[in-house]
Amino acid sequence: MATQSQSTYGRFARYYDIIYHNLVNYEGDVDFIEAVFRRYHVNPRTILDLGCGTGNHDIPLARRGYQVTGLDQSPAMLSLARKKTAESRVRVRFVRADMRSFRLVRKFDAVLCMFGAFGYTLPRRDAVRVLRSVRAHIGPSGLFIFEFWQSSAARPAPHQSWVHIRKPDLEIVRLDESRYDPRTGRLPVEFQFFAFRGQRLLDRFDELHMIQTYSVPGMRALLRRGGFDVLGAFAATNVKKAFTAVTRDTFRVMAVARAK
């Protein structure tokens, strides 16, 4: 496998929205986040989105009237987020920082960490650092809503898949190979990217993404160490989220926690 890139979501960033536009229902995610607010009787005004990427959750949240701050470590992703936000004529504050040790000198009514972003914090002691940083930035009765990948549903190694997107002036092929390690719970995923215009190869690169998976009991214990209690855990999909029970076959879990 390729060596893990120090510029993860560097060149990938330029193709991120093209690849995930039809794979993830971002408006549906925001609908579910608002359903979580109603279920747990909170009425937030300020939201912090960790690992915000290109702002695909932040823009619809801002349109719905929330004061949103997006935080990410990738300058390439943040550059795209700022451009899209300006084009959308909404206000979102974007901050480049590390989820493990950020300091924003304010508290938020809710903190989000969507898709696979939480799993990028390795080793597990760094995940505790993330939780403690969140705990320091969340207001009274505030919610931490985030997704993690469940170990029991990880597919045996090697697992291969691909994405093929064809547009009038661009064709993208992404080959994926994951090699889950049941001993450590880590899931390295190697991406091989090919971008074409007609018969011409425009771009070719690899990125290795290392994700930490968890069990639900393991995540509950981790959250306790970080100063949180779990309120609920639900099965999550790219297309539609609901308050559906988690099973051993649930790969993506949406967790809701409240500061102790």
pLDDT score, position 258 = 97
Q: How far apart are CA 157 and CA 181, in angstroms?
A: 8
Please give the average per-residue pLDDT across 141-148, as a whole number.
96
Tokens of 138: 């969340």
The pLDDT confidence band at residue 6, using thresholds 50, 70 and 90, is: very low
Q: How far apart are CA 88 and CA 62, in angstroms?
A: 10
pLDDT score, position 240 = 78
pLDDT digits (tens, 9 = 90+) for 179-233: 999 999 999 999 999 999 999 999 999 999 999 999 999 999 999 999 999 999 9
pLDDT digits (tens, 9 = 90+) for 175-191: 999 999 999 999 999 99
The average confidence (pLDDT) of the chain is 94
Q: What is the pTM of this model?
A: 0.93
Q: How far apart are the first and last CA of the chain?
A: 42
Q: Which of 168, 209, 171 is nearest to 190 (CA)?
A: 209
Amino acid present at 155: R
**Domains of the chain as residue ranges with CATH:** 13-150+214-259 (3.40.50.150), 153-211 (2.20.25)
Helix (H) or strand (E) holding 68: strand 67-72
